[in-house]
Amino acid sequence: GKAIILQEDTLFGGIASDISALIMENCFEYLDAPVKRVASLETPIPFAIQLEEQYLPKKRFEDALIVLLNY
């Protein structure tokens, strides 16, 4: 099994760290790859639509998912 955690919040201080820790503690022997976390950029939330699209983790999630599937 493989696990990827996506959160709209920034990576540090978010819930993804706790979820990742729970998966590692309880499911480590079932994992075929490291748990991957993907989140928004570590910047203030932009108001402009074009900047918000870059801020949100959609493209980074797609890239991370491909890497994880190929692990």
The domain spanning residue 8 has which CATH number?
3.40.50.920
The per-residue pLDDT for range 6-24, each reduced to its tens digit, is 999 999 888 999 999 999 9
The number of distinct structural domains making up the chain is 1
Q: Which domain holds residue 52?
A: 4-69
**38 near 61, Cβ under 8 Å?**
yes
The per-residue pLDDT for range 34-58, each reduced to its tens digit, is 999 999 999 999 999 999 988 999 9
Cα gap 45→4, rounded to integer Å: 23
In Å, what is the CA distance from 61 to each residue of 2, 5, 54?
A: 14, 9, 12
> What pTM did the predictor assign?
0.84
